[in-house]
Amino acid sequence: MNQSPAMDSFSYPVMEQFYTVQGEGVHSGKAAYFVRLGGCDVGCVWCDVKESWPMDSHQKRSIAQLMNEIKKTPAKHVVITGGEPSLYPLDFLCQALHEQNLACWIETSGTGAYSGAWDWICVSPKKFKLPKKEWLKKADELKLVVFHPSDLTWVQQFLPHLKPNCRLIVQPEWDKREQIMPLLVNFVKENPNWSISLQTHKYLGIP
């Protein structure tokens, strides 16, 4: 396949990129390379990377620059996250990753237009701005960050739009984990199609 010129010329505002171990969700514990894009249109009050919100305060990096850094590692999986990555067209980025036999994963609130070709889609819906149905229909994993008990009722509206095999995950908001965790244990026991996720990277002290 011939590379499109856009593969080298297209760029994204990148807050950070790093090789680590996935700390949460279905793929927790797997080595993965993270690309955190700047810019967010959701603005969760409990967000732990609020510095990613501004779109224009992060250095733009071309797909070629991103790939050069990724290829310095033995990574097999690349996670595109944010901020909110669905603000940007991601087709060329996925194409470049697949050409290097890298799996493309995304963590998104699903608020922007669907783009890209993904090997795993984690949609984390937020009350502040609802996900688009095209993301929900393609989601492999629905991960609900629980800040308030009402979140467990609120999320039910999205279930009819999901694939039958979509994995359902509840995760306590970090600062409220001791308060929320007993609620999640009871919820999962009563709803065994759901699983609990923890932010293990925070316990391990890794990015």
The pLDDT tens digits of the residues spanning 21-61 come to 999 999 999 999 999 999 998 988 888 888 888 888 899 99
What pLDDT score does 50 carry? 86
Report the share of the chain in percent with pLDDT over 70: 96
Chain mean position to CA 37: 11
Which residues, in sequence order, are CB contacts of 69 under 8 Å at separation 6+? 17
Number of domains in the chain: 1
Contact indicator for 104, 78 with CB cutoff of 8 Å:
yes
CA dist., res. 26 & res. 38, Å (int): 24
Does the structure show a pLDDT above 90 at 186? yes
* CATH number of the domain where residue 141 is located: 3.20.20.70
What pLDDT score does 6 carry? 55
Contact indicator for 53, 98 with CB cutoff of 8 Å:
no
Query: What is the pTM (predicted TM-score) of this model?
Result: 0.94
Is the residue at 90 inside a domain?
Answer: yes
Strand 141-146 vs strand 120-123: parallel, antiparallel, or unpaired?
Answer: parallel
- Classified as helix, coil or strand, 50 is helix
Which residues, in sequence order, are CB contacts of 103 under 8 Å at separation 6+? 76, 77, 78, 97, 119, 120
Containing structural domain, residue 30? 6-204
Is the residue at 1 inside a domain?
Answer: no
Contact indicator for 105, 119 with CB cutoff of 8 Å:
yes
Mean pLDDT for all residues in the chain: 94
Is the residue at 190 inside a domain?
Answer: yes
